[in-house]
Amino acid sequence: MKLNSLNNIVYRFGHLPLHALFSTCRFREVGIENLHKVLNEPSGAVIMSWHSHLLIPFYYLKSYGIIPLIGFHSDAEILSQIGQRLGYTPLRGSSNRKPTAAAVELLKIIKQPGNVVGLTPDGPKGPERKVKIGTLKIVRKAEASIIPLGAAASRNRIFNSWDKFHQPKLFSKIAMVFGEPIKLYKNIDYNLDDLSKQISEKINLVQLQAEYEVKH
């Protein structure tokens, strides 16, 4: 089968294996009220979760009107096409390709009331579990909130990738933990290195909580 034909099949039907997988799983939400808090704010918000566990929120948040930020790396087009089949309207952008245009578009989206953008601040290639300063600059300029999100499954297939990517297995327990919103302001002179560490620690905390939830 030609590559283009194979890609077309994945684009059209790639969401079906996700439906099949997650339909066997038991989900638990913790702190979902933190997401609802930002939906009525005068500026939007950003949900940040680690790239290694993106599959869970990518599937589960499809009914919440989240706008996923998807780059232009090798697997991004597949992710974008599957996302559209799930009901998303993805925002395409990358720190490596047309970064200025991507930043302007991201800033425009985040500033709109009620908009919530979902992204992995350590993707697509790392460094692992470290929030990129460029992303924080955009969120600060938009005076938006950051919602740390932890996602975990009780049983996983773990890939030998830079982030040890986790794919939940059938019949898993799944937990998603939404942390308290963290508001950034453009008139505050943050130390961005320290802020990156602080936000990274917040995401790590909710990630640990999600991993605890699926074990108990």
CA–CA distance, 164 with 133 (Å, rounded to integer)? 23
More confident residue, 131 or 125: 131
Greatest mean pLDDT among 93-102, 104-113, 163-172:
163-172
Domain architecture of the chain: domains with CATH: 3-213 (3.40.1130.10)
| HSE, side-chain direction, 13 A CA sphere, residue 196 | 17
- In this prediction, residue 3 carries a pLDDT of 44
Give the pLDDT band of residue 6 (cuts 50, 70, 90). low
Model confidence, pTM = 0.90
